Structure 1
Amino acid sequence: MSAPDPDANTSDSLQGFSKEGLAQLTTQFHKLVDDGKLANIVILVARHGQVVHRDAYGLQNISAAVPVPVKPTTIYRIASMLKPFIGAAMMLLWEEGLWKLDDPVSKFIPSFAALKVKVEKEDGTFELVDQESPMLMKQLMSHTAGFRGRTEYDGVGLRDGDLQHIIDVLSTLPLAFQPGKKWVYGPSVDIQGYIIEKLTGHPLDDFLSSRLFTPLGMVDTGFVLPDSKVERLVNTHQDDGTGKLVSIPLEGTYNRTRPKFIGGGKAILSTVDDYFRFSQMLLNGGEFEGKRYLKPSTIELMRTSVLEPGVCVKIGEHTLPGLGFGMDVSIVQSQAEKMGFQKVGSYFWMGLYGTWFWVDPANDVVVVGFVNELDWWKRLPGAKEICAREVYKALKV
């Protein structure tokens, strides 16, 4: 498979997509930018390993005196889309026999064995009870380990230090529910980052770079942005309160030097082409450009739900029984309400600032879309759904 050319919009062959359908995808998102609902958007669509659509539209900084258009090489904050990287890194170590899905997490973090569970009684008071069964690694990988939602830790300084600090804080707090019995989007992937460091003896960013980013040719993905690349970094945008988008100053939204906190949950930079390379490796069953990273059976395990019966993924205010969850990716198991147009068997995730990707094995498709806006889901809750709808309308054979 050939590597993507960032200066080309599509490959010579549309691989079963119609030219008119892909043009409609472009029209839909250009209109959102022209109408002021988005500052910019970069979208990449690939099939059978070939990029068939690559579109960049809008401005890097909508408030700048001298406008700079976004390009396919524009660097975005992808936040929680770091999580599938962590999942792949964990599976590298799983293949090496360093952990098993049914291992108790306390095997690697002994203090977690003593964690109590906070349970509400009939009279409205709370009591602390023992774990009914030990927290397992597969639960840690699938947000069912028992931890609170991420924002519920805002007052305890969870990220005031390094990954060891997170473990120290969590070791003093009760779990919010019995392991395995509920899906809550919390600090599980930061904990995975800690385990990666303990199992390998290397800082998390070094391990990701040496085992994934550098070998895959992901030249613009990382936690630190050098001065030579700052001009390619998109601004984050937000509503100024009147419905108008304005940019947020770059200072404080990226790092020229290694940040104090590097975890598994968010705060990493990338481009659509870099994310395509990673996603295509997953779609290829763990191989990319002649190099094998993971076994096909390992990729199958990553995209197989480990949720217990009756446990549902909840995104925002929506409980989604049509979704499963595997190793740091969510899986479309049925075309349930609120699932948009992604096909059954696709696996995906999203980022806080408006980035998304999905891998569709049945149709041999990868899609990556990048936006950087605060509260984009309130202004434009259906961006990923619009993308999926138009992608599959354009797919003819």
Structure 2
Amino acid sequence: MSTPHGLQDLLDTHIARGPAPGAVALVARGDRVEVAAAGSATLAGSTPMRRNSVFRLASITKPVVAAAAMTLVEDGLIAPADPVAAWLPELASPLVVRTPQSPVDDVVSAVRPITLLDLLTFRAGYGFPSDFSLPAVAPLLTELKQGPPQPQAVPAPDAWMAALARIPLIHQPGEGWLYNTCADILGVLIARVADRPLDAYLAERIFEPLGMTDTGFAVPPAALDRFTGYYRAGEGGDPELVDAPDGQWSTPPAFLSGAGGLVSTVDDWYAFGRMLLADGLADDGRRVLAGESVRQMITDHLTADQRAASGLFTEGQGWGFGGSVDVEITAPYNVPGRYGWIGGTGTTAHVIPSTGTVAVLLTQTELAGPAAPQLMRDFWTYAAGAGASAGI
């Protein structure tokens, strides 16, 4: 599509084409903020999309949970090099498939313990590779309910960890980057190290200091009128309902997913992004993270071979803690140093430290695969470049 005249134009054009019923987007550079809302909160069309509409974040939950883990490091409760088995005894003696292609019963012992750093960088050995046909991937889907978020279907943390302990690693700890599962393990680890539920810890250390009043693992009754429907493209491209506003996120789940369980608004994630750009400070000057913690989060930790192997998900970009890090220019929207991620429910959020930019796009349509849809790509291009010519 041609370069949009503004963010509203970009959203209106894409929403008119479908299949997303609606979207809300925010692009901020410094003190200048542009926000647009288009379409409706549900297919019925009776509720227009608004700036404070609430969405299922899916995987842009991951940077938030990584930040919470870093607060534990700062408090001296755990260090990146620490084996996590002290808090996750289910992972004390992990087994690894002999080769990634081996059956799940052809295993060897892990050569070293899994550490916090392994979980933060998605190199613990658990998760999705580019090849979903590998035998050790199937139990992640069937037993752990990895994949598109379905919060009410996932067992409670202790039962989930017991199931995880029966599944072999695909790689030795530290050897390969694998998607998603490490963030869910990290959520359980945070709760056990902090000795309180994950939602309570996130509220205390992240949400309350940043004023993220609409962020959590369920939508309270008073906010359900702002909650959006969740859809996927059906036959012919028409959207089909996956979850209604009064569905799976209307009551707290047993498993609080650090990989993709949060609901939120553009302004709440924007507050989180501002904190990252401010070297860990909230708007009122309170310190949420140390500057060094932020720098570790937004720095690529992968080797060149690990980046190449993760290409289906990250398109060859790097990985920090909880999000990708652009390490080269491969298209107009790839800005070196850009940090953030995308979510399978149709969401994306990034910060660009070099320009002081926060860019958040929330839609309601499930991604068909790891590749980002055109709306996201056009939004990234706008946030990285076209926004500047629009005065942003």
| TM-score, with length taken from structure 2 | 0.87
Structure 2 regions of 5+ residues with no counterpart?
A: 129-136, 146-152
Letter in 2 for 1:132: V
1:91-130 equivalences under 5 Å are: 91-120=70-99, 127-130=106-109
Letter in 1 for 2:190: I
Counterpart CA distance in 2 for 1:264 and 1:85 is 8
Change (3 A) 1:124 1:196: closer
Give the corresponding residue for 2:131: none
Higher-Rg structure is 1
Change (3 A) 1:24 1:282: same
**1:121, distance to aligned residue in structure 2 (A):** 9.7
1:235-254 equivalences under 5 Å are: 235-248=229-242, 250=244, 253-254=247-248
Give the corresponding residue for 2:9: 27
Moved more, 52-61 or 312-321: 312-321
Letter in 1 for 2:41: Q
Give the corresponding residue for 2:260: 266
Give the corresponding residue for 1:302: 297
Give the corresponding residue for 1:223: 217
Residue 312 of structure 2 is aligned with which of 317, 337, 362? 317
Counterpart CA distance in 2 for 1:375 and 1:125 is 29
Contact kept? 2:7, 2:35, Cα under 8 Å: no
**1:114, distance to aligned residue in structure 2 (A):** 1.1
> RMSD over aligned Cα, in angstroms?
2.7
Change (3 A) 1:317 1:69: same
**1:146, distance to aligned residue in structure 2 (A):** 0.5
**1:94, distance to aligned residue in structure 2 (A):** 0.6
Counterpart CA distance in 1 for 2:372 and 2:103 is 38
Q: Deviations over 1:69-107 (max 9, x none)?
A: 101011111111111111010000111111122222223
Contact kept? 2:227, 2:245, Cα under 8 Å: no
Counterpart CA distance in 1 for 2:352 and 2:169 is 35
1:350 aligns with 2:342: yes
Counterpart CA distance in 2 for 1:315 and 1:309 is 10
Change (3 A) 1:245 1:124: closer
How many residues align structurally? 372
Contact kept? 2:345, 2:367, Cα under 8 Å: yes
Change (3 A) 1:113 1:248: closer
**1:280, distance to aligned residue in structure 2 (A):** 0.6
Contact kept? 1:33, 1:40, Cα under 8 Å: yes
Give the corresponding residue for 2:64: 85
Contact kept? 1:184, 1:314, Cα under 8 Å: no
1:180-219 equivalences under 5 Å are: 180-219=174-213
Counterpart CA distance in 1 for 2:228 and 2:117 is 36
Counterpart CA distance in 2 for 1:22 and 1:43 is 14
Give the corresponding residue for 2:110: 131
**1:328, distance to aligned residue in structure 2 (A):** 1.2
Contact kept? 2:7, 2:36, Cα under 8 Å: no
Give the corresponding residue for 1:363: 355
Contact kept? 1:180, 1:308, Cα under 8 Å: no
Contact kept? 1:313, 1:324, Cα under 8 Å: no
1:63 aligns with 2:55: no
Structure 1 regions of 5+ residues with no counterpart?
A: 1-20
Change (3 A) 1:313 1:168: farther
